[in-house]
Amino acid sequence: MPATIIDGKEISKHIRAELEQEVAKLTAEGIKPGLAVILVGNNQASRTYVTSKQKSCRAIGMHSELIELPEDVEEQVLLNEIETLNNRDDIHGILVQLPLPVHISETKVIETISPNKDVDGFHPVNIGKMMTGQDTFLPCTPFGVLQMLKYMELKVAGKHAVIVGRSNIVGKPAGQLLLNENATVTYCHSKTPDLASYTREADILVAAVGRAKMITAEYVKEGAVVIDVGMNRDEHGKLCGDVDYNDVFDKAGYITPVPGGVGPMTITMLLFNTVKSAQKLLANRK
Ligand code: GUN
């Protein structure tokens, strides 16, 4: 049986339409949700992502601004920029696009962003809140994955979720969010021997490794939900995920395509978090 496609673009459209209404309401109250994005250096992929994030903000009526800094910028200059944004009333979300040049400490940068404006959900305070199940900004990619499962009405509680990849941005928080939803979670990574013996046990398989098409049908249980977080180029330079889509398609129960799967959802949840930040400000003002 061919898999049912989880259409991230379509799901995004619905969520963004709701967000657009929230943005209009907030704007009428004098709080136009605003996102500031800092881009350091000339990483072409980062530039593409940032442009897409800005376009998406504007499309739903939000304010968005880009601060560009050169590759060799001093760390302190970047930290000062963040402090300025922390103190601005018209900015509700701050995002520093990663990766950063090696001479800059990502940890320091993330910890300088006010937890109240950390719409990426990367600040240790927000990660701690996520781990303990408190209300906070959730990291956008895993949050988007969860929203896709919810939209498709796929049960998570009691299911075995296997995460391949343990990055701070995707793998680790994806497992934590699924655990919060009462899944049984297994983490796999580059040092896991016989990876397929784990992934074949997955009811929900999340691939977040960054290796083009490495998850083939032999890694997948019949009928599994396969979530592909990868964003790679194949041998022809074409965009592809970590999952060999054509190979897995007839075996999986559900599958996310690349492009058009998790990618649009990541940006949607960034918009969601920024709107949420503006809503909190309004609630505190009232
Ligand atoms: N680089 C790759 N993904 C992300 C993300 O979600 N947020 C930021 N800030 N940088 C990234």
pLDDT tens track for 168-225? 999 999 999 999 999 999 999 999 999 999 999 999 999 999 999 999 999 999 999 9
Does the residue 282 lie in any domain? no
Does the residue 193 lie in any domain? yes
Q: Are residues 154 and 251 in the same domain?
A: yes
* Contact between residue 169 and residue 141 where contact means Cβ atoms under 8 Å apart: yes
Say if residue 286's pLDDT is above 80. Answer: no
Residue whose token pair is 């498709």: 152
Q: Measuring CA to CA, which residue among 183, 245, 270 is closest to residue 6? A: 245
218 C-alpha to center of ligand 1: Å?
30
Q: Are residues 106 and 157 in the same domain?
A: no
Q: Quote the pLDDT of residue 65.
A: 98
Provide the total of helices (H) and of strands (E) in the chain, helices listed first. Answer: 10, 11
Dihedral sign of CA atoms 113, 116, 118, 121 in order? positive
122 C-alpha to center of ligand 1: Å?
9
Q: Is 94 in the pocket of ligand 1 (CB under 6 A)?
A: no
| Residue among 47, 82, 97, 137 to mutate when testing ligand 1 (max atoms within 8 A of CB) | 97
The domain tally of the chain equals 2
CA–centroid distance for 286 within its chain: 31
Q: Are residues 144 and 85 in the same domain?
A: no
Does the residue 132 lie in any domain? no
* Contact between residue 136 and residue 269 where contact means Cβ atoms under 8 Å apart: no
* Contact between residue 67 and residue 95 where contact means Cβ atoms under 8 Å apart: no
Q: Which atom of ligand 1 is nearest to the CA of 270?
A: 6
pLDDT tens track for 247-259? 999 999 999 999 9
Nearest CA to ligand 1 atom 8: 97
Burial class (CB in 10 A: 0-12, 13-18, 19+), 165: buried
Question: pTM above 0.95?
Answer: yes
Q: Quote the pLDDT of residue 1.
A: 83
Residues in the chain: 286
Among residues 114, 148, 182, the one where a domain terminates is: 114
Q: What are phi and psi of 36, to 5 degrees?
A: -110, 130
The two tokens of residue 16 are 């963004």
26 C-alpha to center of ligand 1: Å?
26
Q: What is the CATH number of the domain that holds 80?
A: 3.40.50.10860
pLDDT tens track for 15-46? 999 999 999 999 999 999 999 999 999 999 99
Q: Is 244 in the pocket of ligand 1 (CB under 6 A)?
A: no
Say if residue 238's pLDDT is above 90. Answer: yes
Cα separation of 81 and 62, whole Å? 21
* Contact between residue 208 and residue 174 where contact means Cβ atoms under 8 Å apart: yes
The two tokens of residue 59 are 């499309």
* Contact between residue 109 and residue 96 where contact means Cβ atoms under 8 Å apart: yes
Nearest CA to ligand 1 atom 11: 98
Q: Quote the pLDDT of residue 56.
A: 98
Q: Quote the pLDDT of residue 187.
A: 98
Does the residue 8 lie in any domain? no
Say if residue 86's pLDDT is above 80. Answer: yes
Residue 157: CB atoms within 10 A of its CB come to 9
Dihedral sign of CA atoms 139, 145, 148, 154 in order? negative
1 C-alpha to center of ligand 1: Å?
35
Does the residue 146 lie in any domain? yes
Q: Are residues 95 and 144 in the same domain?
A: no
Q: What is the mean pLDDT of residues 146-164?
A: 98
Confidence of residue 54 (pLDDT cuts 50, 70, 90): very high
pLDDT tens track for 98-140? 999 999 999 999 999 999 999 999 999 999 999 999 999 999 9
**Which domain, by its residues, includes 49?**
30-114
DSSP character string of 151-167: HTT---TT-EEEEE---
Q: Quote the pLDDT of residue 108.
A: 98
Q: Are residues 256 and 144 in the same domain?
A: yes
Gyration radius of the chain over CA positions: 19
Confidence of residue 285 (pLDDT cuts 50, 70, 90): confident
Q: What is the mean pLDDT of residues 263-282?
A: 97
According to DSSP, the residues that pair with 63 across neighbouring strands are: 34
Q: Quote the pLDDT of residue 214.
A: 97
43 C-alpha to center of ligand 1: Å?
13
Q: Quote the pLDDT of residue 16.
A: 98
Q: Is 120 in the pocket of ligand 1 (CB under 6 A)?
A: yes
| Residue among 54, 98, 109 to mutate when testing ligand 1 (max atoms within 8 A of CB) | 98
| Residue among 35, 46, 120 to mutate when testing ligand 1 (max atoms within 8 A of CB) | 120
Does the residue 35 lie in any domain? yes
Residue 237: CB atoms within 10 A of its CB come to 7
Give the catalytic positions in this structure. Answer: 53, 97, 120
**DSSP tag of 259:** S
